[in-house]
Structures are given as structure tokens and as C-alpha cells.
Amino acid sequence: MARVDFVAGTAPPLRIWPTWNKLYWQTGPVAVFLLSLFVIPVVMLLGLSFLDDRSLPSLEHYQRLIEVPLYGKVLLTTIKVAFYTTLLCVVGAYPVAYLLSISRGSTRNWLIILVLMPFWTSFLVRAFAWIVLLGRKGAVNQILLAMGIVDAPLQLIYNFAGVMIGMTHALMPLAILTLLAVMEGIDPNLPKAAATMGAKGGTRFWRIYFPLTMPGVASAALLVFITSLGFFITPALLGGPHDTMIVQLIIFQIREVLNWQFAGAIGVLLVITFMAIFLVYDRIFGLSVIGGSAQQARVPAKRSSIRGWAVLAGNAITSVLANLTDAAIYALTILKQGEKNRGRRTRIGLYAACTFVLAFLALPTLFVLPVSFTSEAFLTWPPKLFSLQWYQLVLDSPVWLGAAARSFMVALVAATIAMLFAVPCAFALARDNFAAKPALFGLVVAPMIVPNIFIAVGLFFLFSRIGIAGTTFAVVLGHTVIVIPYIVITVLAVIKGYDRNLDYAAATMGASGMQTFHRVTFPLIRSGIIASFMFAFIISFDELTIALFVTGGRITTLPKLMYEDALLSVSPRLAAVASLLLVFMSIIIVVSELIRRKGGYRHGQN
Amino acid sequence: MKERINKLAIRGLTKRYGSATALSHVDLDLADGEFLTMLGPSGSGKTTLLWAVAGLNQPDDGKIWIDGREATYLPASGRDIGMVFQNYALFPHMTVAENISFPLEMRKMLAGERLPAIRRALEMVKLEHVGDRYCNQLSGGQQQRIALARAFVANPSIVLMDEPLGALDKKLRDHLQLEIKRLHAQLGMTVLYVTHDQEEAMVMSDRICLMNRGRIEQIGAPDELYFRPKSLFAADFLGESNLISGRIIAEEAGCLVLELPGIGTIRSRRTSADVHGPEVVHFTRPESIEILSEAETRANQLRGQVTEVVVSGAITKLFMRVGETSTLQISQLTRGLQGVCKGELLTIGWDDDVGRVFFDDKREAA
């Protein structure tokens, strides 16, 4: 990248600060912060597992992991849950992402909001909504009973099905957004070109479109799978005793048994599982597909022998599927040649699938609203309206108000500190080249990839040692760690989308570095920066895992209070809290979406 | 229709996008082995027409026959066509050979027959050695040739090309124009070609179909369009022209007598009887106007002053002030114009059969 130097005279200016000092100033603080509050705690936690009670090196915890069959069983359950969640998420997300990729204008904006709303609705609120909907006295069972379809309420949650529904609901937006990124990079002429060469619908999809979306499918699947492995909120609230996930074991070891070392050992087990999955993935798809776009996928990957076989097998499978689909379409239409609106039928199929998936994503959450106005003392469907007693109860309660105020403050402070760390770092990552760049990038995005439970437990351990566990400050620090990656990534995208020639143009008109930033650069990236701040705010406000641990039971945040309340009993009071939260979050999301769109000068939008 | 079956026949084709009409009652025939180019400004409907022939959009009205078979609502996959897209649309997940193999596979050709066909196609475009590469490893010109090979390899009834050279630089474009012409001759392909570049259309086509606002403005051989344009739009769109507004004041012996304000009267032979209304535009090509020596006379003669001399290689352009406000452009071989300089007074002239008179629809509308 070209450099612009402002030279006062004919001689080069004396640099008091060599250029690399600016780089240190941009990247140093965030690196030090993450090393001390992310890398060290996590490594310490995992290291603990190799010590016994007297802090001497020992493998006794691993012996126990292997010898007690429970842990192997839980690991298998975890993998099973993650696998089926991944399958459901990707299959459900595919048509929706496709519809989004071909929609334009306001249709697209509305669809995006429909996908983003559940994405940003608290896991807790969503799990709670499913309880309202699917519980023994929930809406679905009441309707089925009233219609006489069943005699007794069905067991819809607190079992494997409940976990599947909850987790698919929780993670599908992630899959949609990942797939969408890849689908938007695909040239819409390619399937058309195939058509001119004689390819029918099925062949066009399976041999052209689907292989091109493979990088998206692979990365969506990996993201969902990895995230599922570290999940515990949904299984804890919607699963039965047989659906315990491995993270729940870690929580149990720390909160109930206080066995740090053994918790660390389970953590190591999880890490090993992660690595094994990454390895298998790399062998089959190549890790370059992760976060990759179709553009990158065009560079043919070096073929390992396993991948070679995978490609061959993939080609064979898609060819067979192509022929089957073509035959099926042929059989269905029985040749209505000359028919004018051909292709409309497949569209109807697409719309039906998308409507179903979007309804699944968007509607359940709304069920918390009516039940929050019930005048009864427990959750029923249909709720006996109308009473504001539960809102009154919440708004009169110092515990709930205190928790909400703390969450709000923590989110505000954590997002602000994280911005101060992350934005300069994002500038350095976007605009400078330095040897440590890949390593720095890896460090700043790592807290997003490493399951929060490791960070939470590691920080709890560290904070206990230095005596700040159980303080609001500890929660702020923990949340700062986990929101940094989100800010870096969103701000990076904003900076990369910024045409640097505008800066150079300002310079040619006589603007100094500061003036250029103040008058040209910042006004153009401002909306992106604000949106990323709100993004960080929402994540922190909604965060449960870190809060669950570092608060050490002494203080509480809103999500933590909701979680503990939900574990004890599901009451209309919780519905009132969830409704308030839902409205609050929705406002923030819509506002930040509006701000983001207003900033779309580049796309000629208004 | 003629006795020989046309490769393509279009009747009354109409396509609307919302309230905008992209194509309005278009008729077109394409003979076997013909190279026909659709030329026109952007938004004139040429690509819409091409895509309708390909089956990539559905017309609202009218019919299309390909090889004598009605294809108006036939899906693209059933039309036996080959198409080169503007951005080539090469499949990024397939090698070059796999790309070229695709149309053959779709026509259920056996693997044993495909390989020699692919090799022949690659030889035709002079890229025998790239079969195993991925398309993103090729240069723009090479990708273009692969797209060509993929379009003709299966020997389709018609090859459609949608501005296939638009993304290339001038030199490569000139080269590939001749290359496509060579392939056209060698393979006897029937080609329907779309471009907005008039020079490209002139170089390559047997016939040019000039489109404007969803209609065919004129269709004919390149020289016919160039020297005998039928409308003001055609005259103005193709090449350079001198257009001067005036009015018809008389008609005598097959000639229209025009009065051009500030210049005087000139005569132009009446052609197709489509000149109505007194308000007209007189058209000449810059190369049709001659510089006259004292001994020479032409039906129309004017005195003018040279305001600018532009040498652009073999051709020199003179800009002449004639009358009070009008400027005429004259293009002559540079060799014959040495010694002419700015400010000189010259006599220029042209015969009454080289100009055209068009109804001035713009002025009438205003």
C-alpha cells in the first residue's frame, strides 16, 4: 500500500516517534489485555488438570475421566446433540439463505431483520418461549387437547426433542448468515449458463449451485457444530437428565464440588474433541473454507488424498442427486410444454420452506408477550388476561431492578473499553503490514472461537486469586474480553469497505492527517462504528456464562437472575422480564440496523 | 419466410418489465450460418432479446422458433443453444476440460466421445495445454476463449454471445474479433451477437440489427447501415455524421430542395418516401464531402473556413465553419490534405445522392 508522507522541506522530517511506535500504540494494549485476561487464565485452567490436590503433577483426573463411564457417555451425548443440531440448522438455513441472496430491496431488508431478530434475542428468552409454547400446559398441548387430537399432554420438552428444537432455534440464524455470505458471492449467471448448455433444474442445482455453496455449507456446519459443543443454557432449560452436555459437567464440578482440577480435565477433553473435529474437517474440506467466500474457494485447494476421495465421492453423489431430481421434476410436471409460467412451482416450494423456517425462527418468541399479562399465578394457555401484576412485581423488586441496572452499566462500560482497545487494533490490521499480523488477528478473534465456559472458569480462577471475583469490575473485564473479537471483525469490515483514495484525495487538497480523519474518514465510517458498539453492548447485556462464574454468587446480572429463576420455576414473572427484555433489545436492534443502513453511502442507499 | 428453414425466427416478440417495455413487437430471422449482430445503446432491448432467445427470460407476447421448432416457452435447457456470457460464467469449481465437457454431458455424450471433442474444441481456440487448470488461473483473454469453446463444442443450433469482449482491452478485443470470425467461418456456426460497440459490429457481422427503445431501427449489411441509414437515429448512432437542421422548400426532378438557415439551399435526391413534414435534418458522412479545386463542381457547394485540423493517423479530420453557426466535419486521407491549415478558406461540395434527409422527430416533439 502506498504511503503518503507530508514533507515540510526538502529534507525528510525528523521522526521523534519512529513509525512502528504508532503500531505498538495501536496493537500493544489489546495484545497485553487479551494475553493477561484470556490466554493466561485459559492456559492456567487447562494446566490445573495435570495437578492433584496437593498441586503436584498427576494424571489422576484423566484416569477418572477414562474409568468413570459417565464422562464418555456425556461426551457422546454432546457430540450427538451437536451433530443433529448442525444437520437441522444447515438444512433449514439453506433455502432461507438462498431466498435472501436472490431478494432485493425492501423485501431483503425485512427478511434480514426476521433473521437477525432471533439472532439477537437472548438465548434465555428464546428457551423460555419454548417452555411457554411446548410445556405440559403450553400453547401447543392445550390446542391439541382442545381439538381432541390427544388425550393427555405430550412430552414435548425436557427431552432430546426439546434440546433439538431449542438448539436449532438458537443457532440457525448463524448458519443462515454464514451461508448467505457465500451465496452472495456466487455469480447468478452460472446456473443460467448451465441451462443454456442443456442442464435441467436438478442438474443446475446439484452440479453447479450446490458445489459452489459448499464452502458456505462447510463453514456454517463447523461453526454450528463447534458452538453446539460448548452449549449449556438450552440443554439445561429444555433438556431432560439424559441430555446433559459436557459443559454442564464443568459447571457442576466448579459450582457444586469446587474441583478445579477435574473441571480443567473435562475442559481438556473438550479441547481435544475440538482439535479432532478441526483435523477431520481440514482433511475433508480444507480449513481455508472457514470464513471463506466463494471467491477464495476458486483457488483450487491442494488435494490431499483424503480430500481427493471426498471430491470424487461428492461428484458421484451430486451427479446421482442431479439425475434423481431431474427425473422427479419430470415425473411431477408430466411435460406441460409451452406452459407459460414454468418454474413458478419450484418457487412455491422455496417460499413454503422459507415461510416455515422463518416462522419457526420468529414466532415462538412472541408467545412470551401474552402470558406476561396473565392474571393467574402460574403459566397457562390461553392466559387469563388482563393484568399488569407481574410487571409491577418486577418493577417493584429491588433485586430485578438492581440486576438490570448492573447489566446495563456493565454492558455500557465493557463495550466502551472494548472499543478503545479494538478500534485502533482494527485500523492496524486493516492498513498495516507487519510480521505479527496473523498472530495478532488470531489472538483478537480467539475469544470468539474458544467456548465462553473456558474463559469464564479461567477468569473466575484468576480473579479469585487476585481477590476481585464477585465484583462488578470483574464482570466488566470478562465481558470486555469476549466482545473485543466482535468489534474487531465488524470494524475491520467497515474499514476495508472504505475507499482509501478519499483520504489521499483529502491530502492532495491540503488536509493534515488529523483533519482528514476528522472531516472525511470518520464521518464515513461513523455509522459502522456505532453499529459495532451496539453489537458489543447487546452481547454483553445478554451474556450469561461469564456472569455466572465471575460474579461468584455475590452479585447478579439480569441474565444470571433469569437463568437461576428459570431453573427453579417458570413463572409469569419471568415472562414479564422476558417481554421487557425483548422490547428493549428489539429497539436497540432496529435502531442499530437503521444507523447501519443510513451509513450505506457506498451502496447509494438512503 | 424463405424456403430454407431459418435457424431462428422471431415474430412479434414483446417483453415488459413492469410499466417499461423492453421489447416491442420484434420480428427477426436468422439464416443458417449467418452472423447477425444486435447493436444499440444500453437499454435498447438487445440483451433482452438475446436472453429471450436463450430461454432465460419469458416474453409477454410473440413467438420464437429455433431450427423450425417453436421454442417460445421451452426451458433454456431444451433449446440446443450455446451461449457466451458477458462475464463468461465459467464454472469456478470445475477445470477447463470439465467446463467444456459439461454441455456434452448434458447431451448424454459418452465419455469416450467427449474427450476427443474437448481436445478438438481446445485446439480450435488454441489452448490445448490448459485443460487441467482451473479457470481462475487463466488470463481474461484465455477465459474468453474457453467460454467460446464451451459454447460451440456441442455443435448447437445457434451460438448466442452477450457482449463477450466487453471486459477486454482494445488490443485483445481486436484480436479476438478476428478470432471469432475465423471460428465462425471454420465451423459454419450461426451466431447471434450482442454489442454496443459499433466498430465491433461492423467488423464481424454479415448483418447488423440496430435496436432502439425496444424496436428494430434498421437491419441490413454493415455498409448498407453505414451509407444508407433509414433514420436519424441510425445515422447518428453509427459512425460520425454531419447533421444540419433545415426545412424543405421545394421538390423538383426527384430532388428535395432544402433551406439550411444561415447556409443557403442544397439539393438532396429523394429516397424512400418517408420524409414528411417540412422540418428535417440533412445528413452526410464526413468522408462524403470533398474539397473542390476551382475546376470541379458538385451539386452542392459551400465556402467555409477551416477551424481545426486533427490528424489521427491515416485520416485527417477538418472542422469547417460554414454559414454563421454551422460546423461541418470532413474526413480525408491525410496524404491528400498536406498543406491545409487552420483559418484557410476552402470550397467544399457533395453530390445530391450522398446525403440523406430525415424527418426531425426531436424538433417536432419539442
Residues of A within 8 A of B74 (CB-CB) are 337-338
Residue of B nearest to A208 (CA): B91
Check whether residue A451 and residue A314 sit in a common domain.
Answer: no
User: Stretch A562-570: mean pLDDT, rounded?
Assistant: 84
User: Does residue A377 lie within any of the structural domains?
Assistant: no
- Quote the domain boundaries for residue A232: 61-366
Beta bridge partner(s), residue B125: none
A353: which residues sit within 8 A by CB, 6+ positions away? A95, A96
Check whether residue A228 and residue A90 sit in a common domain.
Answer: yes
User: Does residue B122 lie within any of the structural domains?
Assistant: yes
Cα separation, A49 vs A71, in Å, equals 15
ipTM value: 0.78
Give the end of a domain, one of B232, B251, B277: B232
Check whether residue B125 and residue B25 sit in a common domain.
Answer: yes
A354: which residues sit within 8 A by CB, 6+ positions away? A95, A96, A99
Cα separation, A534 vs A585, in Å, equals 10
* Chain A contact present for B116, CB below 8 A: no
User: Does residue B126 lie within any of the structural domains?
Assistant: yes
Query: Any idea which residue has 454559414 for its cell?
Result: B323
Q: Where does the pLDDT of residue A410 fall: very low under 50, low under 70, confident under 90, or very high at 90 and above?
A: very high
Check whether residue B183 and residue B257 sit in a common domain.
Answer: no
Q: Which of A209-213, A312-316, B81-85, B220-224 has the lowest mean pLDDT?
A: A312-316
Indicate whether A601 pLDDT > 80: no
Three-class HEC string of A181-232: HHHHCCCCHHHHHHHHCCCCHHHHHHHHHHHHHHHHHHHHHHHHHHHHHCCC
Give the end of a domain, one of A366, A384, A407: A366
Check whether residue A336 and residue A443 sit in a common domain.
Answer: no
Q: Which letter does DSSP use for residue B320 in this model?
A: E
Percent of chain A with pLDDT over 90: 20
Query: Any idea which residue has 488470531 for its cell?
Result: A442
Question: To the nearest whole angstrom, how far is the Cα of A199 from the nearest Cα of chain B?
Answer: 5
Percent of chain A with pLDDT over 70: 89
Check whether residue A558 and residue A507 sit in a common domain.
Answer: yes
Best probe of the A interface among B85, B93, B192, by most A CBs < 10 A, is: B93
Indicate whether A439 pLDDT > 80: yes
* B41 three-state secondary structure: coil
pLDDT in tens, B146-195: 999 999 999 999 999 999 998 888 888 899 999 999 999 999 999 999 99
User: Does residue A154 lie within any of the structural domains?
Assistant: yes
Give the end of a domain, one of A366, A382, A415: A366
Domain CATH for B289 = 2.40.50.100
Residues of A within 8 A of B87 (CB-CB) are 187, 189
Q: Where does the pLDDT of residue A389 fall: very low under 50, low under 70, confident under 90, or very high at 90 and above?
A: confident
Residues of A within 8 A of B164 (CB-CB) are none
Indicate whether B212 pLDDT > 70: yes
Check whether residue B273 and residue B177 sit in a common domain.
Answer: no
Between B6 and A481, the higher pLDDT residue:
A481
Q: What is the pLDDT of residue A288?
A: 53
Check whether residue A286 and residue A207 sit in a common domain.
Answer: yes
pLDDT in tens, A361-388: 888 888 888 888 888 877 777 888 888 8
Cα separation, A574 vs A580, in Å, equals 10
Domain CATH for A542 = 1.10.3720.10
Q: Is A525 left (phi over 0), alpha (psi -120 to 50) or beta?
A: alpha
- Quote the domain boundaries for residue B338: 240-365
Residue of B58, B73, B103 lying closest to A198 (CB–CB): B103
Q: What is the mean pLDDT of chain A?
A: 83
Cα separation, A482 vs A278, in Å, equals 22
Residue of A198, A299, A341 lying closest to B106 (CB–CB): A198
Residues of B within 8 A of A297 (CB-CB) are 92-93
Q: Which of A327, A440, A447, A402 is nearest to A557 (CA)?
A: A402
pLDDT in tens, B106-118: 888 898 899 999 9
Task: Kindly report the backbone phi and psi dihedral angles of residue B349, in degrees, each rounded to the nearest multiple of 5, phi listed first.
Answer: -165, 165
Check whether residue A39 and residue A81 sit in a common domain.
Answer: no
Residue of A193, A337, A342 lying closest to B89 (CB–CB): A193
Residue of A nearest to B70 (CA): A338
Residues of A within 8 A of B85 (CB-CB) are 189, 192-193
Where helices occur in chain B by DSSP H, the ranges are 46-54, 96-106, 111-124, 140-152, 170-187, 198-204, 222-227, 232-237, 361-365
pLDDT in tens, A155-165: 888 889 999 99
User: Does residue A524 lie within any of the structural domains?
Assistant: yes
User: Does residue A160 lie within any of the structural domains?
Assistant: yes
Cα separation, B320 vs A221, in Å, equals 72
Cα separation, B92 vs B146, in Å, equals 12
Residues of A within 8 A of B102 (CB-CB) are 194, 197, 199
Cα separation, B250 vs A528, in Å, equals 70
Residue of B73, B93, B107 lying closest to A340 (CB–CB): B73
Hey, which residues 22-81 in chain B have their CB within 8 Å of chain A? 54-56, 58, 70, 72-81
Q: Which letter does DSSP use for residue B134 in this model?
A: B
Query: Could you count the other beta carbons within 10 Å of the beta carbon of residue A308?
Result: 10
Q: What is the pLDDT of residue B100?
A: 93
Residue of A nearest to B56 (CA): A192
Residue of A199, A337, A338 lying closest to B106 (CB–CB): A199
User: Stretch A441-458: mean pLDDT, rounded?
Assistant: 87
Give the end of a domain, one of A366, A387, A409: A366
Cell numbers linked to A483: 466482545
Cα separation, B146 vs B100, in Å, equals 8
Cα separation, A141 vs A151, in Å, equals 10
* Chain A contact present for B154, CB below 8 A: yes
Give the end of a domain, one of B191, B214, B232: B232
Question: To the nearest whole angstrom, how far is the Cα of B184 from the nearest Cα of chain A?
Answer: 19
* Chain A contact present for B82, CB below 8 A: yes
Q: Which of A546, A530, A529 is nearest to A407 (CA)?
A: A546
Check whether residue B220 and residue B302 sit in a common domain.
Answer: no
Number of domains chain A contains: 2
Number of domains chain B contains: 2
Q: Which of B93, B120, B89 is nearest to B104 (CA)?
A: B120
Indicate whether B361 pLDDT > 70: no
Indicate whether B329 pLDDT > 60: yes
Q: Where does the pLDDT of residue A605 fall: very low under 50, low under 70, confident under 90, or very high at 90 and above?
A: very low
Q: What is the pLDDT of residue A209?
A: 92
Q: What is the pLDDT of residue A407?
A: 93
Check whether residue B290 and residue B216 sit in a common domain.
Answer: no
Indicate whether A3 pLDDT > 80: no
* B104 three-state secondary structure: helix
Q: What is the pLDDT of residue A472?
A: 92
In chain A the first and final C-alpha atoms are separated, in Å, by 31
Q: Where does the pLDDT of residue A606 fall: very low under 50, low under 70, confident under 90, or very high at 90 and above?
A: very low
Q: Does B74 sit within 8 Å of A196, measured CB to CB?
A: no
Q: Which letter does DSSP use for residue A14 in this model?
A: P
Cell numbers linked to B237: 448512432
* Chain A contact present for B87, CB below 8 A: yes
Q: What is the pLDDT of residue A355?
A: 92
Range picked from A17-26, A431-440, B61-70 for highest mean pLDDT:
B61-70
Burial class of residue A362 in the structure, from the number of CB atoms within 10 Å of its CB (0-12 exposed, 13-18 middle, 19+ buried): middle
Between A297 and A55, the higher pLDDT residue:
A55
Q: What is the pLDDT of residue B1?
A: 42
Domain CATH for B19 = 3.40.50.300
Residue of B58, B107, B150 lying closest to A340 (CB–CB): B58
Indicate whether B272 pLDDT > 70: no
Q: Where does the pLDDT of residue B228 fall: very low under 50, low under 70, confident under 90, or very high at 90 and above?
A: confident
Q: Does A339 sit within 8 Å of B92, measured CB to CB?
A: no
Q: What is the pLDDT of residue B4?
A: 59
A4: which residues sit within 8 A by CB, 6+ positions away? A503, A504, A507
Cα separation, A286 vs A311, in Å, equals 12
Pairing of strands B81-84, B242-252: unpaired
Check whether residue A326 and residue A207 sit in a common domain.
Answer: yes
Q: What is the pLDDT of residue A1?
A: 42
* Chain A contact present for B5, CB below 8 A: no
User: Does residue A391 lie within any of the structural domains?
Assistant: no
Q: Does A299 sit within 8 Å of B76, measured CB to CB?
A: no
User: Does residue B272 lie within any of the structural domains?
Assistant: yes
Q: What is the pLDDT of residue A304?
A: 58
Residue of A189, A340, A342 lying closest to B75 (CB–CB): A342
* Chain A contact present for B167, CB below 8 A: no
User: Does residue A173 lie within any of the structural domains?
Assistant: yes
Q: Which helix (H) or strand (E) holds B218?
A: strand B215-220
Check whether residue B198 and residue B83 sit in a common domain.
Answer: yes
Q: Does B102 sit within 8 Å of A342, measured CB to CB?
A: no
Check whether residue B84 and residue B136 sit in a common domain.
Answer: yes
Q: Which of A343, A601, A442 is nearest to A31 (CA)?
A: A442
Where b means 16+ CB within 10 Å and e means fewer, A309-339 reads ebeeeeeeebeebbeebbeeeeeeeeeeeee
User: Does residue B56 lie within any of the structural domains?
Assistant: yes
Q: Where does the pLDDT of residue A295 fall: very low under 50, low under 70, confident under 90, or very high at 90 and above?
A: very low
Pairing of strands B69-70, B61-66: antiparallel
Q: What is the pLDDT of residue B48?
A: 93
pLDDT in tens, B24-61: 999 999 999 999 999 999 889 999 999 999 988 889 99
Check whether residue A359 and residue A407 sit in a common domain.
Answer: no
Check whether residue A108 and residue A245 sit in a common domain.
Answer: yes
User: Does residue B1 lie within any of the structural domains?
Assistant: no
Between A604 and B89, the higher pLDDT residue:
B89
pLDDT in tens, A14-72: 555 455 677 888 888 999 999 999 999 988 888 888 887 777 888 888 888 888 888 88
Between A20 and A547, the higher pLDDT residue:
A547
Query: Any idea which residue has 522541506 for its cell?
Result: A9
In chain B the first and final C-alpha atoms are separated, in Å, by 40
Give the end of a domain, one of B183, B204, B232: B232
Check whether residue A287 and residue A161 sit in a common domain.
Answer: yes
Residues of A within 8 A of B78 (CB-CB) are 198
Residues of B within 8 A of A340 (CB-CB) are 58, 73
Check whether residue A344 and residue A197 sit in a common domain.
Answer: yes
Check whether residue B249 and residue B220 sit in a common domain.
Answer: no
Whole-structure pTM value: 0.80
Instruction: Please enumerate residues of A whose Cβ is less than 8 A from a Cβ of B.
Output: 187, 189-190, 192-201, 203-204, 208, 211-212, 214, 294, 297-300, 337-343
Query: Any idea which residue has 473485543 for its cell?
Result: A484
- How far from A46 is each of A51, A61, A155, A266, B87, CA to CA, in Å? 10, 12, 39, 9, 53
* Chain A contact present for B229, CB below 8 A: no
Question: To the nearest whole angstrom, how far is the Cα of A187 from the nearest Cα of chain B?
Answer: 7
Q: What is the pLDDT of residue A27?
A: 86
CA atoms within 13 A on the CB side of B324: 4
Check whether residue B361 and residue B318 sit in a common domain.
Answer: yes
Check whether residue B26 and residue B150 sit in a common domain.
Answer: yes
Check whether residue B84 and residue B123 sit in a common domain.
Answer: yes
Check whether residue B199 and residue B289 sit in a common domain.
Answer: no
Check whether residue A343 and residue A230 sit in a common domain.
Answer: yes
User: Does residue B2 lie within any of the structural domains?
Assistant: no
Indicate whether A194 pLDDT > 50: yes
User: Does residue B3 lie within any of the structural domains?
Assistant: no
